[in-house]
């Protein structure tokens, strides 16, 4: 008959069964011992429910925008020329109102905004950080909540920008979130509040868009010029 015995197993992958012939033994099933595989980190095969901002940084550069929100990976195709025209026109006007006046710094995509406590990260179209919050800026990304985030929506991103992204920015402490709608030629301004007790408020603008930093008014933006 056959029996089994361990044959000098060492390490994770060397547990091999030795087969011994012994006619005096009662028949027993032959045991199959599998080597225990070492787990390896592979972003490409990782379940989407596990995706973090650090995982996103390891993905290949394919020309798309990759973001990690609530453990999910979101991929956005390259923007259209009209999308970029609107981003640049709006950024120039915001730069004049906020940066030229010495209120802080402003960036346009692609720039990473990371929320380290929850391992989430996004790449908004426009980001502004006030002078009081410049400590969140690092060489790799903006690591914390900006004062203002702007997203120019498209038919494929509108639901996400108004849904999971708005909730993300509210949860992370972003003070203002602008949703720019090229089709409606309007801007939705969400004031998310500096404290959790403050309820978010929404206002829509189609003509003159006020620029504010906290309670300070810093001018207006002519939206028909932005959407021209």
pLDDT digits (tens, 9 = 90+) for 188-198: 999 996 665 67
> Whole-angstrom Cα distance, residue 116 to residue 172?
10
> Whole-angstrom Cα distance, residue 74 to residue 157?
10
Of residues 81, 79, 88, 85, the one with CA closest to residue 106: 88
User: What is the pTM assigned to this prediction?
Assistant: 0.77
Q: Tell me: pLDDT of 4 over 70.
A: no
Q: pLDDT tens for residues 39-62? A: 333 434 344 458 999 999 999 988
Are 178 and 146 a contacting pair, CB within 8 Å? no
Looking up tokens 């410049």, which residue turns up? 134
Tell me the torsion sign for CA atoms 168, 172, 173, 176: negative
């Amino acid at each position: 008959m056959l029996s089994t015995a361990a044959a000098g197993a060492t390490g994770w992958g060397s547990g091999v069964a030795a087969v011994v012939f012994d006619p005096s033994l009662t028949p027993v099933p032959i045991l199959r011992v599998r080597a225990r595989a070492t787990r390896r980190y592979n972003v490409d095969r990782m379940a989407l429910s596990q995706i973090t901002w650090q995982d996103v940084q390891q993905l290949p550069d394919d020309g798309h925008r990759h973001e990690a929100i609530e453990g999910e990976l979101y991929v956005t195709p390259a923007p259209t020329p009209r999308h970029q025209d609107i981003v640049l026109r709006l950024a120039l006007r915001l730069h004049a109102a906020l940066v030229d006046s010495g209120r802080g710094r402003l960036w346009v995509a692609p720039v990473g905004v990371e929320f380290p406590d929850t391992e989430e990260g996004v790449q908004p179209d426009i980001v502004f950080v006030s002078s009081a919050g410049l400590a969140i800026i690092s060489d790799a990304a903006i690591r914390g909540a900006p004062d203002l985030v702007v997203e120019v929506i498209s038919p494929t991103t509108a639901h996400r920008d108004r849904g999971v992204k708005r909730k993300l920015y509210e949860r992370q402490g972003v003070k203002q979130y602008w949703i720019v709608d090229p089709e409606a030629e309007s801007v939705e301004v969400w004031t998310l509040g500096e404290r959790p007790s403050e309820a978010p408020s929404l206002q829509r603008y189609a003509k003159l868009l006020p620029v504010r930093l906290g309670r300070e008014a810093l001018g207006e933006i002519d939206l028909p010029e932005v959407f021209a």
